[in-house]
Homo-oligomer: A and B are copies of this chain.
Amino acid sequence: MDVTIYEVAKRAGVSIATVSRALRGTGPVAARTREKVLKAVEELNFTPSRLGVSLAEGRHAANGIVFPDLAGPYYTEVLLGYEEVASELGRSVVILSTKGRTKVGDLVKDLAGRVDGMLIFGHTVPEPLVAELVRLGVRLVFVSREPLAGADTLRSENTASARALAGHLAGHGYERFAFLGAPLTSQDDVDQRWQGVREVLGGAIEAVDTRHYTVECGYDAALTLLRGEGRPEAIVCSDDEVALGALLAAEELGLDVPGDVAVTGWDDIMAARHARPALTTVRQPMRELGARAARALDELITGARDTPRHLVLTTELMIRSSCGGHPAAT
């Protein structure tokens, strides 16, 4: 790691400019000269310093990603899709989690100084800081948030998918519903799901707050809900983790799912597929979200595109057994 381009040049008997040209193919180099350079590189086991290259080029060849936490499988899948495409494009990925961190502003700015652009999940970064980053010309792509002027946004479809899910549930003949996991922000993913479900079920469904979208919070809220008056026949959950909590609550209360109460989730994470009963849920194309985000960011970084774009990816309704019986199916 201590060999510099100067030592290679000396050993090969050429200038550092020639070494650079030979290695990068950025200019004409005689075959004989190239051989001498490559031989010296091999003998000295030289690898160009990333720092030197980046400073001289004025670019990092790296992408950033800011997320609230990775404990939910949702974020992991997006990250994997993102990293895969970033690597294909010759870029490293620098990660930053904001969970439990103070001075998020400083952390995000430090990240911005290390990368050519970044992906931000939803509202992980405070809005004033987002506005500042946009003003500074930082290339940004957002996943899972409403459109924002000056930056790209990418999300999965929510409203129509929620309507399809609610329609399917109604087809089971249920008449009393609850939506577990009230929206935190207007127009965020969960709010759109709530809107879509409500369009179909109307006054037959009521939203219940869970405080966070975790298994634990879903369990607590479901326990309270299922112990109360007017128990719903079906619970539509904001996401799979909350739904897993609801399954635990039903189990503890000795309620059969879906016989006594049906439960649905959102995301189609691994645990949802392996729970019993297997969760009926909506699958988000999470890897594709990450992959598309990396490509969008590439367009912004290379200048292939300079106008913000807002994309919506399609979802898939995964009917399993938690919503009710399906004659002659699965």
Q: Does A96 contact B (CB under 8 A)?
A: yes
A311 on interface, CB distance cutoff 8 Å: no
CB of A54 closer than 8 Å to a CB of B: yes
Check if A69 is an interface residue, CB within 8 A of chain B. yes
CA distance A275 to B113 in the complex (A): 44
Contact B97 A92 (CB under 8 A): no
Stretch at the interface among A80-88, A153-161, A168-176, A193-201: A80-88
Q: Does A244 contact B (CB under 8 A)?
A: yes
The docked-state distance in angstroms from the alpha carbon of A76 to that of B80 is 11
Is A71 on the interface with B (CB-CB < 8 A)?
A: yes
Taking the closest CB of chain B, its distance from the CB of A267, in whole angstroms, is: 12
In the assembled complex, A55 has its CB within 8 A of some CB on chain B? yes
Verify if A326 is at the interface (C-beta below 8 Å from B): no
A109 interface residue (CB < 8 Å to B): yes
| A247 partner residues in chain B, CB cutoff 8 A | 274
A93 part of interface (Cβ distance < 8 Å): yes
Complex interface: chain B residues within 8 A of A259 (CB): none
Asked whether A303 is an interface residue with its Cβ less than 8 Å from the other chain, the reply is no
A94 at the interface (CB under 8 A from B): yes
Q: Which 10 A-B pairs rank lowest in CB-CB distance, beginning with the nearest? A: A276-B276, A50-B113, A271-B271, A271-B274, A274-B275, A270-B271, A51-B55, A50-B114, A76-B76, A94-B94
Interchain residue pairs with CB less than 8 A apart (15): A50-B110, A51-B55, A70-B80, A71-B77, A87-B96, A87-B97, A92-B96, A215-B270, A269-B270, A271-B271, A271-B273, A271-B274, A274-B274, A274-B275, A275-B275
